Structures are given as C-alpha cells and as structure tokens.
Amino acid sequence: MMQLTTFYRNTISRLFFIAFVLITNLSSFNAAATHSSGADLQYTWVSGNTFKVTVSFYRDCAGVAAPATITLNAKSTSCSRNQNYTLNLVGGTGQEITFPCRTVQTKCTSSGSVNAGYQRYEYSNNVTLPQQCTDWVMSFYVCCRNCAITTLNNPCADNMYIEATLNNVAAPHNNSAQFTNIPVALICVNQSFTYNHGVFDPDGDSLVYSFITPKTFNTSTNTVGTVTFNPGFSSTSPLTSSPAATLNSANGDITMNPTVNGEIGLCDHCSRI
C-alpha cells in the first residue's frame, strides 16, 4: 500500500495488482470464484457537505461478476456518526485493461482462454455528510481478493478493504488526490519497468509517498485488519524483483525488475494523509 502525505492529512487509497508474464508467452491462471484484483477511492467537493465519491474496481475476468453497486460507509468517531451510501455503476464502464499483445485472447474476451484478463468498473454518487467532522473515514469492502495472487497467504479468504479520510472542519472544500493512470496488468520479465499512478492534487497540496500494508475487513467483528504476506514478501517488498522494487517518495515512481514469470504481486497504492 502506498501512502501519500498532504497538508490537510486526508487519505485516499488505491489497491492494485501487478501480474508479471512474458509478453511473448502469456502465463495461464486457474479460474477462481473470487474476482477482486484492485480498487481505488477518491472524492471531489461539490457544495456544502456534499462530495462526489468515485470508486474504480478492477475485476479478474475468471471470477464472478462485478458488483451491481458499491456500499460506501462514512464514519466519524468524534461526531458519533456511522451511515451507508450507495454508489451506482457508471454506464459504459467495465472495459478490459489487460492489453495483451496482438490478437491474444484473454478470459475477458473468451471464457475458454488460458490467459488472465482484467476489467475496470467505476461506481459513483454524490454523498452528503450530515455535518462537519475532523475524522471522517469513507470506506468500502468487496469479497474477495483474487485467489490467483501469489504473494499473500490465502488471499481469497480476505475481503478487499479501501478507505479515504476527510477532515471537513479544517478543509470543508477539500478534494482528494486524483489518479490519472490505470494499474498495469502485464509487464515483461527481466526488464526494468517504472510505473507511476499519475496522481495530482486539485488543491495544490504537496504529496509524499510511502508503502504501507494492505487492509482487510472482518464482517464477523466489523473490524479492519491487514493482509498476511507469504514468506519473502512484505509491504515494502511486494513482488520478486532484482534489484528490489523501490518507491520514490517525492514523485511516486515505482521501479522494478521482475524475475518470476506468471507472478502476481499485490500493492495497495496511494493513501493520502
């Protein structure tokens, strides 16, 4: 998970996967019932205490269908508020982001294909918060993480959890940082690669990046937890790379040189606090 620090200490989150396959030989994955490969959550101020909240959800085409709606929870401990809102599916979304080479078929275009495929869905709605509070946490969770993820212990047993925080007392008209680049699905093994989310802040706040551990949500206890990495992986070492993957704290560049064909590494990217 990559954390961005800004002046007003608001946070947003992006979770996404990076799948490493040789471009000339796409790696196959077993079909899985789960489908959550990544997501992000961002908001823009509309008027008063109303914010437009948008979720981008990334689906493994080998799994179940994307949800029809997203339930957003808004909670403030200091104001004793806890309520839900519905984010609706944006029409026309659900396009594939895999971008395989030439005429290669993926699970998104052919159910009989052995090649992984991923789609991006968008959910959005205006959310009116009941009052100004210093500690709003807007969040959602989706069951469950993609079983094909190889860097986590039993990923398909985890709900994928994303949150954004907001202090609309100190900054009543604040906007979260915005993502302009979609996650990368396929890159080449044994080739150095740099990825950037293309994050910008509409309010001109400065951004500082760091890795943190991805989060989960336990529906039995209604508590937020963290994922368990397989041995050799961690929040700062989310994939097999030589040299190790690095994050530039000033501009958000993630540089890697993947060395394992067919590995899927999980990264939670862009908390803004």
Nearest to 123 by CA among 47, 186, 57, 218: 57
Preceding omega of 79 cis (within 30 degrees of 0): no
pTM for the whole structure: 0.87
Q: Distance between CA atoms of 195 and 255, rounded to whole angstroms?
A: 6
Buried b (16+ CB within 10 A) or exposed e, 124-156: bbebebeebbeebbbbbbbbbbbbbbbbbeebb
pLDDT, one tens digit per residue, over 8-60 is: 445 556 665 555 544 433 333 333 346 788 889 999 999 999 999 999 999 98
Nearest to 117 by CA among 128, 109, 106: 106
* Residue 145 to residues 161, 174, 205, Cα–Cα distance (Å): 10, 31, 32
Pairing state of beta strands 13-20 and 2-5? unpaired
- Residue 117 tokens read as 């495929």
Which tens digit of pLDDT belongs to each residue from 128-156? 999 999 999 999 999 888 887 888 999 88
Question: In terms of pLDDT, which residue wins out, 98 or 243?
Answer: 243
For residues 258 and 239, is the Cβ–Cβ distance under 8 A? yes
Q: C-alpha angle 243/214/156, rounded to 5°?
A: 100
| Beta partners for residue 97, in sequence order | none
Is 80 exceeded by the pLDDT of residue 102? no
CB contact at 8 A, 257 and 139: no
Least confident range from 21-30, 104-113, 133-142, 249-258: namely 21-30
SS3 64: coil
- What is residue 38's three-state secondary structure? strand
How many Cβ atoms from other residues are within 10 Å of residue 204's Cβ? Answer: 8
Q: What's the pLDDT score for residue 32?
A: 39
Instruction: Give, in degrees to the nearest 5, the angle at Cα 272 between 269 and 273.
Output: 135
pLDDT at 24: 37
Query: Bigger pLDDT: 203 or 9?
Result: 203
Picking from 29-38, 79-88, 233-242, which range would have the lowest pLDDT averaged per residue? 29-38
Please report, for residues 18, 24, 79, 90, 98, the alpha-carbon distance to residue 94 in angstroms, rounded to integers and kept in the order given.
Answer: 19, 26, 37, 9, 12
> Residue 240 is encoded by which pair of tokens?
């097999």
Which pLDDT score, from 0 to 100, does residue 77 have?
A: 98
Average pLDDT score, the chain? 84
